[in-house]
Amino acid sequence: MSNIDPTEIEKFNAIAARWWDLSGEFSPLHKMNPYRIKYIEDNVGGLFDKTVLDVGSGGGILAEALAQRGATVTGLEPAPQSVEVAIEHAQQSQLDIDYHQGVIEDFAIDRAETFDIVTCLEMLEHVPDPASILTAAISTLKPGGYLFVSTLNRSLRGYLLGILAAEYLLNIVPKGTHEHNKFLKPSEVIGMIEQNDCKVQKANGIHFNPITQNFSINNDLAVNYILCAKKL
């Protein structure tokens, strides 16, 4: 459990009960989720009967959507109260999702080349060592499997829109959710991925329109972005 920031765990434990409040702190993730799912589906040719590991699964927003599309889903999350919420909500939704509390470095030890797909979405900006996360996550991928990573760009626009606007002007996410120095440039994440027998296939931006409150996928990586990589 070394590659965690205790303040991040405390932060997410404190609001864990509101993971499924569609108008609460996690509302942006709920609105973003259909676009993330479609992006994954389109790049892997459908999710039915695929084995998926969701690293940083939180309260299960992504994991449940994956399971609803026929994937066999394992969720991994270090914050214990988030795991409790995810398990309870999956049971209420009658979904069979295998949740674990812990970090990927430990989880991956005896699970080499196990999964068809691994997702690390909106979580690398919350950990001390993103490269370690990606190395361990990729080790659990089968050859030819797909990795999906999304995070925030350490750019001026990333700060202005991802922190100043989102947290202080528009109140889209709680103040203090992000730290700009933990954001990652696409070139940095691509480098971390491609050091581990993976090749990035696609890089796209995730754009939020504050007027319509909708998301879209585009080619602008300046703020939020998502990468699709394939294990060689």
Pairing label, strands 214-218, 198-209 = antiparallel
Q: Is 205 annotated as a binding residue?
A: no
CA distances for 39 relative to 99, 147, 210, angstroms: 23, 12, 21
Taking each helix axis as running N to C, give the angle between helix 6-14 and helix 80-92, from 0 to 180 degrees, rounded to the nearest 10: 40
Q: Is 121 annotated as a binding residue?
A: yes
Pairing label, strands 198-209, 224-231 = antiparallel
3-state helix, strand, coil in the chain (%, to 5): 40, 25, 35
Q: Is 59 annotated as a binding residue?
A: no
The annotation places the binding site for S-adenosyl-L-methionine at 36, 56, 121
The annotation places the binding site at 36, 56, 121
